[in-house]
Amino acid sequence: MLLREVEYARPSSVAEAVELLADNPNARPLAGGQTLINVMKARVASPEVLVDLNGLEELKGIELGGEGTLELGAMVTYSQAMSSAECRARPILGEVAAQIADVQVRNRGTIGGNICANDPTNHLPPLLVALGATMTIVGREGERTVPADDFFLGVYMTAAGPGELLTTVTVPPAKGAGDAFASVTIGRDGTGIVNVAASVNGDSRLVVGCVAAVPVLIRPGSTDEDAVREAVHRAGLDPPSDVHASADYRRHLAEVLAARAVEQAAGRRRS
Amino acid sequence: MKLEGTRSFEAPRQAVWEVLNDPARMAKTMPGVESFDVQDDRHWKANVKIPLGLGVLPLSIGFEKIEERPIEYARLHANGSGVGAIMSMATGFHLSEADGGGTDMRWEAEVKVAGPVGSMGQRVLQPIVNQQVQNVLAALDEQVQEAYSAG
Amino acid sequence: MEAVSSKTVAVEVNGDLYEREVDARRLLVHFIRDDLELTGTHIGCDTGNCGACTVLYDGQAVKSCMLLAVQADGARIETVEGLAQDGELHPLQQAFSDHHALQCGYCTPGMLLSAKHLLDNNHEPTETEIRRAIQGNICRCTGYVNIVEAIAAVARGEA
Amino acid sequence: MSETTVTPERPITVEEREVKPGFVGTNVPRKEDARLVQGQGVFADDMRRHGMGYVHFVRSPYAHAQITGIDVSKALELEGVYGTLTGDEVAIQTDPFFELSTPPGSEIKDYALAVGKVRWMGEPVAAVVAATRELARDAAELVEVEYEPLPVLVDAEKAQDVEAPILHDDAGSNVVWSGEFDWGDFDAALAEADRVVKIDRLHFHRFSSTPLECSGCIVEYERATGQWTLFGNHQMPGVGAIWMAPALRVGIDKLRFVSHDIGGAFGNKITLHPYFVACCLLARKLRRPVQWTEWRTDQHMANTHGNERTFLDIEVPVRSDGTMLGFKVRAIDDCGAFPRYEPLGCIIWAQVTPGCYRWRHVRVDFTQVCTNKSPVAPNRGYSRMQQLWFTERLVDIVAHELELDPVEVRKRNYIRSDEMPYETPNGCVYDSGDYALCLDKALELIDYGSIEQRREEAATRGKLLGLGIGSTLDSGTNNFGQSMILNPELQFSGNNEVATVKLDLFGEIVVTLGTVPQGQGHETTASQVVADILGCTPDDVHVRPGHDSYWNSHAGFSGTYASQFAVTGIGAVKGATERLATEMRQLAAAVLGCAPDDIELAEGQARMRENPEAALPFMALGAIINANNAGLPQDLDVTLNCRYVYRPPFEKPDVERKYGNLTLTYANQVHACVIEIDGETGVYEIVDYAAVDDCGHRIHPQIVEGQVHGAMAHGLGAATHEQFPYDEDGTLLTANFYDYHVPHALDMPPLKTDYVESPSPFTNYGAKGMGEGGGAGIHAVCAAIQDALRPLGGPIVTDSCNPPNRVWELIRDPEAARAGVAVESA
């Protein structure tokens, strides 16, 4: 509770938002606020300016392209992703969104906020890496796209740097891929201890969350359980040890959950 | 929390050692350093703003060189305090000659963090500290390269 | 456009329009409790976990400790004080009492609004759907047994 | 001349109302609910006062350090800051709080703020008051405190080591209190036994009930009289005042405690006195009301935790048939940085020394120590929960090691219903109960007969199924004389509670309780008792919400704690109401011209038994005595305002033998829990759960059942996730709800309940205090995990908190988890 002093602006366009962000290196975009406001309550971070994105309709779109490419505005909430007909093109999105926190958080929390916060236990960073999504980032200099693999830089840090704004998350067509998400959480649907996202289609993309500052992408050569476990083992994960889980336990869970996620994803694959 | 690792530099041991003992160069390895004062050859002070993505954590940090055995071992203590935040770090650097002329560095660090950052939860604290240490090491690498190529 | 450190907001709460100047840093929950003196909305944590501060914000259940008051300009908010109409308890309020779904009553306002959000959107929830709907509301007294039962009773039209 | 003058010839006829006698024992609607469901409750943070300032505490980031300097000047320069308070001022203006212990604990100096030294991370070091909450926190950040860190002690087992850092130099030792308890003849039991089961170590973890409303108060100081009014959520103000008044160097009546609604307390709001004293000093110094609200992270870091207890070198003599003869143990209790309510926990456990069992030979070496952690205080099931967990672990470990059925071992060792009232080896009297019947009912609810079949079915799904039982006692109504066993100098014994019942001017029945309720429905249950005695309905009875010490309806032990309202609170209400009824009959008799015995109270009237037409409505009685009393007989000693102090029948204990009756009633609960463990991950789910409760006659069954639900949820939370662990630097690792996981609705299993009613022979209505539940959920989950893992090498559950990581460790290395347990032939 009880934030430090802060200034507030509610731009009416992305361009205006980018100007506000670029004007002050200590300005931060305010999306759903379900992470940022809490960090500010703890006074761990104290941005000087909050640029509220909630008025930007252009960031709230969900579009399904003819070929099955899904474009999600950064301000799409988890609840919207869960109920969106377009999102059913990639059902794993709604399935995972439904596991995030609780109803109230899902009503406010946004896809863009989830990945830009990149809390190591967040659900969407490993999922979007597994799906091979790309992120569109706008800055004063213009627009660029960054593959999910390169987007996550650290806890609370992504390729969308100061003065920039994530606008769109583009999820490629499923093309028959099977997707799955497996996790062990603190309590039912709680904070992740380890989570694993898998997308299987020819080559498998397996991504482990909660074990490092950024999601860890592993490409097991096959969907065979032993091969998957071996690939995770060889990845040499160095997860944190904390009150919820030892590093050993997290390493073990990464293998178990990877095997489960890949098995489920393979089962969901449409050949 | 305890962290440790190894790192190889493509520079001779003497060059690495000099960087480790050059406060001005060490200052450049600090994340978000704003000012740096050398008090004597064992004590330095720095004001830093550690970037945490969502904002910055301002700390003023005092460094003390505790022990040194030239060109093979150095031990440093750092004590930082900010608004309600306390950080302390004890680090050791062991240098040895690598095959082919480079230098291998084995390092360990014991980091203690308390205050509001701690209350942000277990899930973020250790990854943040880990990452900051990695950043310092990467910067150290740069400084070594820079000093070596300049020298 | 300029960023501002305070702002006048117009917020509709329980059908009444309030205009107040607020600091940008003021959380919506403090605005509701301290500035509007609607103290039925409670605070039970500082991390967005407990749900005691749940209100309906443009019809959506949200935790008012994770919004700024300045964001609420133009919003329509419903708090526990708005549930009873013309002296008649809302069916959920009555059912909570009938089923002994509250003890200390501290989580109750937030719990009622989460339940209302559920029933506004789902007229025949299963027990699991009820539990999912109140997962973001911590109660330390009841073990949720009677809360789930009370919500189910209202859904069945028994209250 | 008043129209309401009443004579027998002209009785007032009142509208006939339906009056249903016998409200006690029924589920009348809760009186509290109407305001609470409408958000109209008044909690600590809901009050405002003109010109008040907000308090923010500056807290220590170190677990152990000397304070070498505090500079508040920058804080004072901030516009909107009203003032500050530091430890130096506190040390000058107050005396240290009274300590309950004998030396060395008695030498500890405990103040409202840290004086000279900090002893846990989060300890308040200074306080700032400002015009807004936000400003107060801004200013707190500007207070500059210099520390010199000291070595940190977090491991209670190392507290007595020579090299251990000493927290309290005045005490010269980290030991607060230690003592030997030796009842029966343990050596003879060893000789008599066929086997001795030895267990190296069992550990009961630190957690708390984390009431959803954190602590808080508004304090006003009246300069004219030197009186403070503390509107807040202290749950035991009588005892709070005993600490605070001497510390503030004032008489006890200078402290007026007021509470309205309290958002849960569970014992965690018994030791708020340091914060309240700081607020008193600030209100006096700054000449304005001050308001303090504790936030969640503050509560976790620096309010109270439950006692952490380690049981070492355990020996259990057993006969081959599973008859257990007693136990020997060395217990180390960790009370954190300051004792405060402690060392009472060093004796409270002895209320339930043998748990539910007929064990006669007990030897306990008990030591309580300070560590650099947040201080402890009572926490739902205070000190008995630890002991009951220990006794339940003994039963399940013995059964496991001797390959006996835990159900059979329990039944063989349970105290039998025909032995009630039963005197334990240390002189406590279990009043009534049928533990075996409760167990049977619990087993029936979870369909015990099908367990083996379900175990096999679960195995086909890769799951390990286990059954666990937790049998517990809820000892209620303390005999405070037990404190004399710890410290014979203490002048505390017995117990008391107060109620005042009056008939007001317009006939309103007004009840004032001494208790300080926090959700237990006292307004409702009190009204049931009053209605039955006065012949009216609970709706006719106004029970004042909350507590106000200026109502003069409280005594030294008033409060809501230790499962006692059904005995003490109800005892007081019943006593006061009976006095009022007697007076009403006397008054009616005087007016109607008959003998008091001729009058009955029914249907809201006092009327002549033989001539119901001759009746006075309550309103007439109230009006006569309060406003129309001319002509009443001079010797009629009637006030219609009756205060009664209930005093349970206790003797002082035998201090030499540490022997005596420490509690009046023993409710009991038996829980049965079925879990399924994922053998690969250690993640488990509770798939079936039953709780059977016996608290004698239930005054309001629905409220009783609600308490059973809540206690079970606390037990499950503590068993699975809730813990307050510290790292070696004394950093709390679960500083708020990010890491301290409290069960939510999806975490809770389906719950089945049933009850038995074994009336207490010692109380009104045969009721027993209840609500704490003795941590049954913890015991049942531990037992179920151990049972489920039997096929995997038989690891022993030695810790009370078992999150998935720990279960996985049991699976991975069962040998390590068995290493501390041995069976020896005697």
Cβ neighbours, 10 Å, residue D463: 20
Task: Determine contact, residues D697/D759, Cβ cutoff 8 Å.
Answer: yes
Task: Determine contact, residues D209/D267, Cβ cutoff 8 Å.
Answer: yes
Among A28, A121, A212, the residue with its CB nearest the CB of B54 is A28
- Stretch D601-628: mean pLDDT, rounded? 95
Global pTM reads 0.95
Tokens encoding D207: 């957690």
Mean pLDDT rounded to a whole number for chain C: 97
CA–CA separation, D433 and A167 (whole Å): 67
Q: Are A103 and C136 within 8 A, CB to CB?
A: yes
The DSSP string of chain B is -EEEEEEEESS-HHHHHHHHT-HHHHHHHSTTEEEEEE-SSSEEEEEEEEE-SSSEEEEEEEEEEEEEETTTEEEEEEEEE-SS-EEEEEEEEEEEEPTTS-EEEEEEEEEEEESHHHHT-HHHHHHHHHHHHHHHHHHHHHHHHHHHHH-
- Stretch D347-354: mean pLDDT, rounded? 98
The chain B residue lying nearest A211, using CA atoms, is B127
Q: Does A117 touch chain C (CB under 8 A)?
A: no
Cis peptide before D596 (omega within 30 of 0): no
CA distances from D237 to B40, B96, D32, D656 (A): 58, 67, 21, 31
CA–CA separation, A210 and A213 (whole Å): 8
Q: What confidence score (pLDDT) does residue B122 get?
A: 67
Which residues on adjacent β-strands are paired with residue D85? D127
Among A156, A192, A243, the residue with its CB nearest the CB of B52 is A156
Crossing angle (nearest 10°) for helices A247-268 and D804-812? 100
Q: What confidence score (pLDDT) does residue A271 get?
A: 58
Which residues on adjacent β-strands are paired with residue A179? A199
Interface of A with B (CB under 8 A): 26, 28, 35-36, 39-40, 42-47, 117-121, 154-158, 191-192, 210, 212-213, 240-244
Q: Shortest CA distance to D563 belongs to which of D426, D442, D711? A: D711
Listed in sequence order, the residues at least 6 apart from D429 whose beta carbon sits closer than 8 Å to its beta carbon are D421, D422, D423, D661
Q: What confidence score (pLDDT) does residue B151 get?
A: 61
- Stretch D342-348: mean pLDDT, rounded? 97
Q: What is the pLDDT along chain B (151 residues), one digit of tens a residue?
A: 788 888 888 888 988 888 888 888 888 888 888 888 888 888 888 888 887 766 777 888 888 888 889 889 989 898 888 776 778 888 888 999 988 888 999 988 888 877 766 667 667 777 777 778 888 888 888 888 888 887 6
Could you tell me the end-to-end alpha-carbon distance of chain A, in angstroms, rounded to an integer? Answer: 52
The CA R_g of chain B, rounded to the nearest whole Å, is 15
Q: Shortest CA distance to D719 belongs to which of D788, D780, D645, D801? A: D801
CA–CA separation, D528 and D31 (whole Å): 11
Residue A63 pLDDT exceeds 70: yes
Percent of chain A with pLDDT over 90: 89
The chain B residue lying nearest D738, using CA atoms, is B121
Q: Are B122 and D736 within 8 A, CB to CB?
A: no
Q: How many CB pairs under 8 A join A and B?
A: 83
Cβ neighbours, 10 Å, residue B106: 14
CA distances from D171 to D68, D101, D369, D575 (A): 21, 11, 11, 45
Q: What confidence score (pLDDT) does residue B63 get?
A: 87
Q: What confidence score (pLDDT) does residue B33 get?
A: 84
Task: Determine contact, residues D58/D127, Cβ cutoff 8 Å.
Answer: yes
Q: Are D30 and C97 within 8 A, CB to CB?
A: yes
E strand or H helix at A261: helix A247-268
Residue D4's pLDDT band, with cuts at 50, 70 and 90, is very low
Least confident of B94-103, C79-88, D751-760: B94-103
Q: What confidence score (pLDDT) does residue D17 get?
A: 39
Beta strands in D588-709 (DSSP E): 599-602, 605-608, 615-617, 641-646, 663-678, 684-694
Tokens encoding D725: 């662990």
Task: Determine contact, residues D219/D228, Cβ cutoff 8 Å.
Answer: yes
pLDDT in tens, D189-226: 999 999 999 999 999 999 999 999 999 999 999 999 99
Task: Please name the residue that has the structure tokens 């009274």.
Answer: D98
Q: Shortest CA distance to A133 belongs to which of A125, A121, A142? A: A125
Tokens encoding D678: 């994922």
Listed in sequence order, the residues at least 6 apart from D22 whose beta carbon sits closer than 8 Å to its beta carbon are D532
Which residues on adjacent β-strands are paired with residue D704? none
Q: Does D213 touch chain C (CB under 8 A)?
A: yes
- Segment 47-106 of chain C within 8 Å of chain A by CB: 47-48, 51, 54, 60-63, 65-68, 70-71, 73
Residue D16 pLDDT exceeds 60: no
pLDDT in tens, D770-821: 999 889 999 999 999 999 999 999 999 999 999 999 999 999 999 999 999 9
Q: What confidence score (pLDDT) does residue B116 get?
A: 66
Residues of chain A neighbouring D744 (CB-CB closer than 8 A):
102, 187-188
Q: What confidence score (pLDDT) does residue D18 get?
A: 41
CA–CA separation, D119 and D125 (whole Å): 10
- Stretch A82-101: mean pLDDT, rounded? 96
Q: Are B84 and D141 within 8 A, CB to CB?
A: yes
Among A10, A38, A107, the residue with its CB nearest the CB of C48 is A38
Mean pLDDT rounded to a whole number for chain D: 95
Least confident of A203-212, B131-140, D237-246: B131-140
The CA R_g of chain C, rounded to the nearest whole Å, is 16
* Edge-first strand listing for the sheet containing D463-478: D463-478, D663-678, D684-694, D752-755
Residue D35 pLDDT exceeds 50: yes
Q: Are A256 and D681 within 8 A, CB to CB?
A: yes
More confident residue, A151 or B85: A151
pLDDT in tens, D135-159: 999 999 999 999 999 999 999 999 9
pLDDT in tens, D474-525: 999 999 999 999 999 999 999 999 999 999 999 999 999 999 999 999 999 9
Residues of chain D neighbouring A251 (CB-CB closer than 8 A):
none
The CA R_g of chain A, rounded to the nearest whole Å, is 18
Residue D679's pLDDT band, with cuts at 50, 70 and 90, is very high
Helical H segments across A70-153, by residue range: 78-83, 92-97, 103-108, 111-117, 124-131, 148-151
Residue A96 pLDDT exceeds 70: yes
Residue A253's pLDDT band, with cuts at 50, 70 and 90, is very high
Q: What confidence score (pLDDT) does residue D371 get?
A: 98
* Residue D725 to chain B, least CA–CA distance (Å): 12
Q: Does C11 touch chain D (CB under 8 A)?
A: no
Q: Are A191 and D804 within 8 A, CB to CB?
A: no
